[in-house]
Structure 1
Amino acid sequence: MKTRKLLAIALVAMMGTLSFVGCQKADASSDTIKIGGSFDLTGEAAQYGIATSNGVKLAIDEYNANGGVLGKQIEFILEDNKASQVDATNAFKKLVDNNKVIGFIGSDISSTTETIANLAAEKNIPMITPTGTKLGITTIGPNIFRACYVDPAQGELLAKFATEDLKAQTAAIMINSEQDYSTGIAEAFEAAFTAEGGTVVEKVNYGKNDVDFKPILANIKNANADVVVIPDYYETIATLITQAREIGITSTCIGGDGWDGVTEKTVNNPEVVEGSYFVNHYTVEDDAVIVQDFISNYKATYDAEPNAFAALGYDAAKILIEAIKTCESTEADAITAAMQNTSLDCVTGHITFDENRNPVKSVSVIEIKEGQNTLYKKLDAVK
């Protein structure tokens, strides 16, 4: 990671400490500072979008309760993109053209995030996605950031964990061939696993609308691999892994952060995911004060336990707002420069950015044990 030149400014604030360069004074003509957001609130990935947007809103509410930023309240304007690239496009254009937002937070899944990133780059709107993990998203423009690690990093970490901790020598991979998230993790896992001396004994593809997996699961069963890698989202995983156990597959199943939510989805049949592992951005078992304060405030506000998507939404909002705060500016280039030089304690770890605006931070390995997501170990920051 390249060395950053930091402006020595000491700030003491409830929300943490940041260092930035390249700042200009804020425009005093607006009564509020408008930040836009677009997430899936009613579509197929709504569990992610709702949790993420709740995290964003919690952070913004906390800033506003403590005086806002630059002497102004933050106005968060949220649009539902329904996990649709068309709706994501329309939502972003509305936020920029009609609402005149000066920064953007979103989206949740990679497809809508990538669509919005192209528009944000064209308009030079500082943007941070909490959970868009596709590798190329941040390379679209110098103003595009993310709070989560990328798909290939997840695949590499899973391969490292499978070989070092699970002592796996063979692996089978199940790939949603219509989904960038799934293919990105799968490809990185295979490359890293084989480089470590492991053997991929079976690979099977399926489509996003498939519901009967037993024909392809027969091949997985016959392969009898040490681990089965399933990089997909929780709803599909719940169906797939239930059918896998029904036909007698006993291999250890592992996956990426899309697994977050699978324990709720299989609550009436918890044995199907027992002993599975996935990498994730944070865990409620982290005893750091910033984490426990976030959990308490989220529960008090939403009467629910925050998942990793909520934590990433919270962190993304914090990163953007701290940039505005320290720069004392709402000018796009100033905010972008400030975000690039982030060094901030967040719920999902201490975050800095690499040259491609991807975060450098630690990663949690989660074990599903007795129907609960439990912290197995933490892995060093991905660089």
Structure 2
Amino acid sequence: MKLKKVFAITLSACLSASMVAGCSTGSSSSASGGAKVIKIGAFEPTTGENGGGGLQELLGMRYANKTHPTVKIGGEEYKVELVEVDNKSDKTEAVNAAQKLVSEKVSVVLGSYGSGVSIAAGQIFADAKIPAIGASCTNPQVTQGNDFYFRVCFLDPFQGTVMANYANDHGAKTAAVITQLGDDYSSGLGSFFKTAFSGLGGNIVSEEQFQTNQTDFKAILTNIKAQNPDIIFAPSSITTAPLIIKQARELGITATIAAGDTWENSTIIENAGTSAEGVVLSTFFDEAEPANEEAASFISGFKAYLKENKQDEIIPAVSALGYDSYLCAIKAIETAGSADGSAIRDALKGVSIDGVTGSISFDENGDAKKDMAFIKTIENGKFKFLTTTTVK
């Protein structure tokens, strides 16, 4: 989006000094016609390896902005302007995208899909005193030591344990783990699954890693086949997932293939075809099980919105989380009664909402207090709800 003329003089200085000076403090302004405006940043990948998932998350934020286009600050109504940047699924580009949001003087940031880019940008937001609310970035490091980062999803230690419990409950005694080298989400979730599964008495018979942009997995899958595991846990991107799934089945591997929340994406089914049948995953939301009235309203309205935008009408969990992150942002802005980032950060600590994915409030680390995950499988070319799971 174009920078407003009123900021033209100061922005050139802020671009280079915003991390150390006060230029990045969130502010409000008047749009043409006199309407007051507050900016919320959408920090998401819309290109690169995670572009598909990032767009789904962004669609939830855009829809939230459509249904909640204004916020009241001190009794006055402000228009919420969603400022979108593409972090390109890349840690270096994430820094550039974060700096752009700082220069745009956003008051709060939403995102990102992908823990690695969220971690990379975290210190920039903290230095600029702009609170960020992650939607689906599940790695614990996103919020650790960062008083300005919050999130509305559950964490990978929980998700890894949930999937280990599921594997154990369904008779799996041996497991293979496949993770992406250098990817915080993949390596973190794989590690948490391994620890939890071993703790339940399971045996990890193979641990394999692959490089970013790798497309041939037959060598590591051949190693896994020789170990004949009951389950393969392979948390990875939606780009990599169908390749792993198809090549595993082509090699005659019959083990259950499982992963985390990133695999709840229809493109995996489209690209893996019948090989995707029986895949199991954990996720944050199921449209067949609305948590409350807000969820029921979201489901019907968002389906219509997806249709208008020529998108698949199956609601991804990350879209619901994107919507909830926006709700938390406007609730915090209203509670703070200010566009100032530090004031909004302080307000977020006490925010409590009934969101689409359930009740949301934050603990001392800025993490959502959540204790339930949805387990789904792929059956007849569709995601099918199996059960909800909690970890005590």
- TM (norm. structure 1) is 0.87
2:329 pairs with 1:320: yes
Q: Aligned AA for 1:105?
A: L
Q: What is the rounded CA distance, in whole Å, between the counterparts of 2:344 and 2:381 in structure 1?
A: 43
Q: Name the structure 2 match of 1:62.
A: 67
Q: What is the rounded CA distance, in whole Å, between the counterparts of 2:379 and 2:72 in structure 1?
A: 42
Structure 2 vs 1, CA of residues 145 and 331 (structure 1 numbering), >3 Å: closer, same or farther?
A: same
Q: Name the structure 1 match of 2:58.
A: 53
Structure 2 vs 1, CA of residues 215 and 143 (structure 1 numbering), >3 Å: closer, same or farther?
A: same
The alpha carbon displacement at 1:269 in A equals 5.0
SS in 1 for 2:323: helix
Q: What percent of counterpart residues are identical?
A: 34
Structure 2 vs 1, CA of residues 329 and 168 (structure 1 numbering), >3 Å: closer, same or farther?
A: same
Equivalent in 286, 290, 294 of residue 294 of structure 2: 290
Q: What is the rounded CA distance, in whole Å, between the counterparts of 1:236 and 1:291 in structure 2?
A: 31
Q: Name the structure 1 match of 2:388.
A: 378
SS in 1 for 2:247: helix
Q: Aligned AA for 2:267?
A: E
Q: Name the structure 1 match of 2:39.
A: 34
2:216 pairs with 1:212: yes
Q: Name the structure 2 match of 1:241.
A: 245
SS in 2 for 1:253: strand
Confirm or deny: 8 A CA contact 1:63 1:69 kept in the other structure. no
Q: What is the rounded CA distance, in whole Å, between the counterparts of 1:203 and 1:52 in structure 2?
A: 31
The alpha carbon displacement at 1:29 in A equals 6.3
RMSD value, Cα: 1.9
1:350-375: CA deviation from partner (whole Å, max 9, x where unpaired):
11222211112221111112111111
Gaps of 5+ in 1: 1-25
Q: Which has the higher contact order (CA 8 A, sep 6+)?
A: 1
1:277-303: CA deviation from partner (whole Å, max 9, x where unpaired):
100011122144322321222222231
SS in 2 for 1:197: coil
Q: Aligned AA for 1:203?
A: E
Q: Name the structure 1 match of 2:21.
A: none
Confirm or deny: 8 A CA contact 1:254 1:276 kept in the other structure. yes
Q: Name the structure 1 match of 2:182.
A: 178
2:274 pairs with 1:271: yes
The alpha carbon displacement at 1:339 in A equals 1.1
Q: What is the rounded CA distance, in whole Å, between the counterparts of 1:258 and 1:160 in structure 2?
A: 19
SS in 1 for 2:188: helix
Q: What is the rounded CA distance, in whole Å, between the counterparts of 1:266 and 1:52 in structure 2?
A: 19
Give the aligned length.
352
SS in 2 for 1:133: coil
Equivalent in 364, 372, 378 of residue 355 of structure 1: 364
Gaps of 5+ in 2: 1-25, 31-35
The alpha carbon displacement at 1:329 in A equals 2.1
The more displaced of 144-153 and 286-295 is: 286-295
The alpha carbon displacement at 1:265 in A equals 2.9
The more displaced of 170-179 and 240-249 is: 170-179
SS in 2 for 1:266: helix
1:47-74: CA deviation from partner (whole Å, max 9, x where unpaired):
111111111111122112xx53331111
SS in 1 for 2:153: coil
1:14-63: CA deviation from partner (whole Å, max 9, x where unpaired):
xxxxxxxxxxxx98865211111221122221111111111111112211
Q: Name the structure 1 match of 2:91.
A: 85
Q: What is the rounded CA distance, in whole Å, between the counterparts of 2:176 and 2:365 in structure 1?
A: 32
Confirm or deny: 8 A CA contact 1:117 1:140 kept in the other structure. no
1:202-237: CA deviation from partner (whole Å, max 9, x where unpaired):
222221222111121112112111111111122211
Confirm or deny: 8 A CA contact 1:56 1:313 kept in the other structure. yes
Q: Name the structure 1 match of 2:171.
A: 167
Confirm or deny: 8 A CA contact 1:138 1:357 kept in the other structure. yes
Q: What is the rounded CA distance, in whole Å, between the counterparts of 2:298 and 2:288 in structure 1?
A: 12
2:119 pairs with 1:114: yes
Q: Name the structure 2 match of 1:342.
A: 351
Structure 2 vs 1, CA of residues 344 and 42 (structure 1 numbering), >3 Å: closer, same or farther?
A: same
